[in-house]
A = this chain, B = another copy of it.
Amino acid sequence: MVVNKVYGIGVGPGSKDMITLKAQNVLKNTKKLFVPISKHGKTSVAYEIVKEFLNPETEVIELLFPMCKDEILLKKHWDEATEQIINSEGDVSIITIGDVTLYSTLSYVWHRLKDNKINVEILNGISSPFAAASALNIPLVEGDEKLAILPQGKDLENTLEHFDTVVIMKTNDLEEKLKNCNELMNNKEKYIIGIVNRVSCDNQKMDCGKIDEIDFNLVKEYLSLAIIKKIKE
Contact = CB atoms under 8 A, between A and B. Distances in A.
A90 interface: no
Interface stretch (A98-106, A172-180, A201-209, A214-222): A98-106
A146 B146 CA distance: 14
Contacts of A146: 148-151, 154-155, 159
Given A20-B18, A101-B134, A148 B122 contact: no
A4 B140 CA distance: 25
B149 A141 contact: yes
Number of this chain's copies in the complex: 2
Interface of A: prevailing SS: mixed
B147 A148 contact: yes
A148 B108 CA distance: 21
Interface string A100-118: 1111100110110010000
A144 B137 contact: no
A86 interface: no
Contacts of A154: 144, 146
A93 interface: no
Interface string A127-138: 100110110011
**Chain A: number of interface residues, binned into ranges:** 35 or more
A124 interface: yes
Nearest to A98: B130
A145 interface: yes
A16 B147 CA distance: 27
Nearest to A102: B140
Nearest to A101: B133
A138 B125 CA distance: 15
24 contacts: A12-B20, A16-B21, A18-B21, A19-B21, A20-B20, A21-B21, A99-B126, A101-B130, A101-B133, A101-B138, A102-B141, A114-B137, A122-B133, A124-B126, A124-B130, A126-B126, A141-B149, A144-B151, A144-B154, A146-B150, A146-B155, A148-B148, A155-B162, A158-B162
